[in-house]
């Protein structure tokens, strides 16, 4: 049977794969998107039930289509986000095959291109673009042994409070996932301990503008790299319940117990770093710096945006911050489950090419890999802070489509002598 040939094979049919398809079509580059499950699957089956977008619908979307059934200022629920991408794929007539998994990609020997083994046979591709997501494999730090008598799940397996056993819960990690899950569990009447690490904590809105607008006009989504030593600082924001600023002290006042970074576990006792106050102070500094920069922007541009002095009020430290818990016997505290909101790792075990550094991370420049013909899209900080988010990936995809298009022109180049011979 003849082997199918394709100029660009895009692996993954999430937002990154679709953005790539749109830009490749705009550049008239033949391509195919392979998705092992359904379009935007992770929004459907790897996120908790009540999740809504972290940004308002006017912002967390592609330029070419608005959310038809969501107020632009509202935060779209996760199923609606997945539906949006299904509709988008239809609008751009994306050549996408669902239910096909890419098992292995290898460079051809002695000729250009790659041999792509899929669950439905082999494809020969000139270029392969990995759009398999910024958050692929859940990471649970090796702190509590698996056989300890306590339920442990990662945030990507958490669905809703009924999933957890009776008793208190420890949520580890206070990025957007951890803080939203902890808040939901507290509202459901559970006793909640939240382990808070370093974080940024922008205001949900300030002077009548959402923080996504402020980060946009202040150029922060376009920042090319996090500050020195800050590479892993997570942004703690929430679109839940209409959207609100994440305020750890307020959560403590509502009954949540805050602890510092989770460090180790021995004999049923969990140890926490003595860094809770510092982490909250760092979050406050970040919060206040956004207000300062926003005020300066308003003044410089003479904008008529209402002042909001109350936004600078900081609640006093609750007892769990001034007298932090450094050790906790989980059984004595009634803790029966742990939700690890501790992030994700990349997994390119299927991509057997020379495109990774010595730590196994993609070696690339703005998504153009060290191995010619291989591309990455949707990586965290691929070109800027916004790269792994809905609106940012669209711009990175445009850059890559331009790059692929230019490479095609080089490869199509012929000398005038050769053109003449072929024409005669
Ligand atoms: C909890 C959470 C909330 C988020 N909220 C927001 C938000 O509100 N706004 C925002 O802008 N961003 C948000 N993000 C970040 C980002 O938008 C999402 O992670 C988004 O899913 C990334 O899209 P993607 O297309 O890059 O990757 P993914 O959505 O992960 O898509 C990759 C696709 O590749 C497929 N795939 C993987 N391996 C293979 C293979 N070998 N063969 C074939 N197919 C394969 C997968 O099935 C998947 O469908 C959130 C992330 C998380 C974790």
pLDDT tens per residue, range 334-356 = 999 999 999 999 999 999 999 99
**pLDDT score for 230:** 54
pLDDT at 422 over 90: no
pLDDT at 360 over 80: yes
- Centre of ligand 1 to C-alpha 394, Å, is 13
pLDDT at 24 over 60: yes
Read off the pLDDT of each residue in 130-152 and give the average, rounded to a whole number: 96
pTM of the model: 0.96
Atom of ligand 1 nearest to the CA of 54: 8
153 vs 418 pLDDT, higher one: 153
pLDDT at 139 over 80: yes
Query: Across the strands, what pairs with 122?
Result: 117
Read off the pLDDT of each residue in 198-206 and give the average, rounded to a whole number: 96
Read off the pLDDT of each residue in 75-96 and give the average, rounded to a whole number: 98
pLDDT bucket at 233, cuts 50 / 70 / 90: confident
- Centre of ligand 1 to C-alpha 51, Å, is 14
pLDDT bucket at 273, cuts 50 / 70 / 90: very high
Q: Which of 42, 47, 387 to mutate to test the pocket of ligand 1 (most atoms within 8 A of CB)?
A: 42
Read off the pLDDT of each residue in 165-173 and give the average, rounded to a whole number: 98
pLDDT bucket at 224, cuts 50 / 70 / 90: confident
pLDDT bucket at 228, cuts 50 / 70 / 90: low
- Centre of ligand 1 to C-alpha 27, Å, is 24
Q: Which of 56, 388, 396 to mutate to test the pocket of ligand 1 (most atoms within 8 A of CB)?
A: 388
**pLDDT score for 414:** 84
**pLDDT score for 270:** 98
- Centre of ligand 1 to C-alpha 162, Å, is 25
pLDDT at 421 over 90: no
All residues at 6 or more sequence positions from 303 whose CB lies less than 8 Å from its CB, including other chains? 297
Read off the pLDDT of each residue in 22-31 and give the average, rounded to a whole number: 98
- Centre of ligand 1 to C-alpha 66, Å, is 19
- Centre of ligand 1 to C-alpha 42, Å, is 6
Residue with tokens 């926003």: 294
Mean pLDDT computed over every residue of the chain: 95
Read off the pLDDT of each residue in 269-276 and give the average, rounded to a whole number: 98
Task: Work out the burial of residue 208: count CB atoms within 10 Å of its CB; fewer than 13 is exposed, 13-18 middle, 19 or more buried.
Answer: exposed
- Centre of ligand 1 to C-alpha 157, Å, is 15
**pLDDT score for 420:** 73
pLDDT at 229 over 60: no
Residue owning the nearest CA to atom 28 of ligand 1: 133
**pLDDT score for 366:** 96
pLDDT bucket at 419, cuts 50 / 70 / 90: confident
| Beta strand pairing call for 102-107 and 114-118 | antiparallel
Residue owning the nearest CA to atom 12 of ligand 1: 389
Q: Which of 21, 35, 234 to mutate to test the pocket of ligand 1 (most atoms within 8 A of CB)?
A: 35
Residue owning the nearest CA to atom 15 of ligand 1: 389
Residue owning the nearest CA to atom 45 of ligand 1: 12
pLDDT at 232 over 70: no
pLDDT bucket at 266, cuts 50 / 70 / 90: very high
pLDDT at 231 over 80: no
**pLDDT score for 417:** 72
Pocket around ligand 1 at a 6 A CB cut-off: 11-17, 34-37, 41-43, 47, 51, 53-55, 60, 101-102, 131-135, 177, 350, 378, 388-390, 393
Read off the pLDDT of each residue in 31-38 and give the average, rounded to a whole number: 98
**pLDDT score for 418:** 75
**pLDDT score for 225:** 72
pLDDT at 1 over 80: no
**pLDDT score for 227:** 59
């Amino acid at each position: 049977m003849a082997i199918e040939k394709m100029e660009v094979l895009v692996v993954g049919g999430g937002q990154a794969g679709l953005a790539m398809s749109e830009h490749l079509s705009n550049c008239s580059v033949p391509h195919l998107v392979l998705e092992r499950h359904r379009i935007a699957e992770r929004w459907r089956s790897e996120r908790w039930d009540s999740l809504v977008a972290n940004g308002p619908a006017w912002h967390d979307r592609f330029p070419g289509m608005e959310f038809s059934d969501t107020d632009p200022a509202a935060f779209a629920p996760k199923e609606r986000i997945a539906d949006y991408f299904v509709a988008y794929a239809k609008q751009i007539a994306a050549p996408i095959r669902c239910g096909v998994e890419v098992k292995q990609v290898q460079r051809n020997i002695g000729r250009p291109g790659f041999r792509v083994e899929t669950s439905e046979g082999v494809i020969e591709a000139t270029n392969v673009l990995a759009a398999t997501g910024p958050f692929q494999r859940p990471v649970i730090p090796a702190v509590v042994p698996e056989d300890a008598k306590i339920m442990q799940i990662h945030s990507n397996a958490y669905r809703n409070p009924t999933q957890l056993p009776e008793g208190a819960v420890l949520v580890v990690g206070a990025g957007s996932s951890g803080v939203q899950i902890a808040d939901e569990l507290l509202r459901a009447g559970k006793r909640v301990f939240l382990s808070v690490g370093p974080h940024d904590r922008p205001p949900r809105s300030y002077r009548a503008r959402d923080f996504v607008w402020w980060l946009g006009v202040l150029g922060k989504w376009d920042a090319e790299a996090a500050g020195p030593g800050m590479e892993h600082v997570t942004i703690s924001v929430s679109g839940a319940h209409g959207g609100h600023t994440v305020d750890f002290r307020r959560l403590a006042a509502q009954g949540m117990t805050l602890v510092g970074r989770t460090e180790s576990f021995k004999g049923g006792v969990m140890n926490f770093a003595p860094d809770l106050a510092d982490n909250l102070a760092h979050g406050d500094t970040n919060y206040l710096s956004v207000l300062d920069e926003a005020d300066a922007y308003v003044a410089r541009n003479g904008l008529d945006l209402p002042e909001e002095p109350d936004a600078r009020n900081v609640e006093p430290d609750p007892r769990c911050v001034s007298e932090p818990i450094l050790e906790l016997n989980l059984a004595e505290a009634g803790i029966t489950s742990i939700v690890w909101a501790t992030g994700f790792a990349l997994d390119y075990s299927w991509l057997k090419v020379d495109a990774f550094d010595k730590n196994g991370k993609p070696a690339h420049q703005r998504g153009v890999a060290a191995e010619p013909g291989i591309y990455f899209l949707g990586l965290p900080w691929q070109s800027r802070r916004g790269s792994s988010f809905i609106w940012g990936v669209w711009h990175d995809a445009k850059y890559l489509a331009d790059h692929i298009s230019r490479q095609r022109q080089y490869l199509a180049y012929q000398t005038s002598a050769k053109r003449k011979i072929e024409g005669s």
